[in-house]
Structure 1
């Protein structure tokens, strides 16, 4: 299936929702994995593009279904829904996936998590851990200057845009 990324950033609500990560986010995700690995840090991408339906199921966690609250937004309200966000975690040598922000698996005196965040920011990602209210520590996004409201109204980043941060 061909990716749904319109050429114009000004098309309105008839604009189809993306069905995968934006190509720049995909490229930077791969670069993040590679650059982290070169620092002796293995990461996994635990989430990327997420449909509105998947977002709604996550929203229900801790509300009408079992589990803890993991998001404050319904379908259409997350950059994941527009292919502009990823979530990551650390992968230990034994294969276990951890969300340990203090872990120093490469033994360089720095928390691996924050080393990954630093690399991500260098690549143009915004980190959810910097948010003032709901801190989302595994979350990385590229908004290309577009708000959720603009995305809901059909605006999309051009495919040939490069992340400039």
Structure 2
């Protein structure tokens, strides 16, 4: 496949750690599912609003430091939230991260509050 990041996705990557931006770009180049970046760097106010709304459980999100991104699958130009799509996107992220020697964590691998659209740099290497 040959997908490209939209101008909107690139804007949402501003302030995101360059190593994670490189993983996003490499993942999209190898992904069989198109995706867009929905969120990268967050303000503390935005994070607090997400916690209050129940969309997040932490005030210590990796989004606050530019170490995390959320993506949305695109099928025929439409955002889709079907869980299997995110597993396929995660495969592309994991291969891209391994190729770039950049350890990442996929929210879909978490045992509680699984978060398929979420990818972050591993805290052990990127504190």
Q: Which has the higher strand share?
A: 2
Gaps of 5+ in 2: 1-13, 98-102
Shift, 1:125, TM fit: 2.2
Partner deviation per Cα, 1:54-90 (whole Å, 9 max, x = no partner):
11111111xxxxxxx210012xx00111111111111
1:132 is matched with which residue? 111
2:20 is matched with which residue? 25
Contact kept, 8 Å, 2:40 with 2:66, in 1: the verdict is: yes
Partner deviation per Cα, 1:127-158 (whole Å, 9 max, x = no partner):
11111222112111113416xxxxxxxxx65x
Gaps of 5+ in 1: 1-18, 62-68, 103-111, 147-155, 158-165
1:141 is matched with which residue? 120
Distance across 2 between alignment mates of 1:30 and 1:51: 23
Q: Which runs of 4+ in 1 moved over 6 A?
A: none
Higher relative contact order (CA 8 A, sep 6+): 1
3-state SS of paired residue (1:80): helix
Out of 45, 62, 66, the position equivalent to 1:53 is 45
Number of residues of Structure 1 aligned to a counterpart in Structure 2: 108
**Structure 1 vs Structure 2 CA RMSD:** 1.8
Contact kept, 8 Å, 1:79 with 1:143, in 2: the verdict is: no
Please, what TM-score do these two structures have when normalized by structure 1?
0.59
Distance across 2 between alignment mates of 1:70 and 1:119: 25
1:106 is matched with which residue? none
Please, what TM-score do these two structures have when normalized by structure 2?
0.75
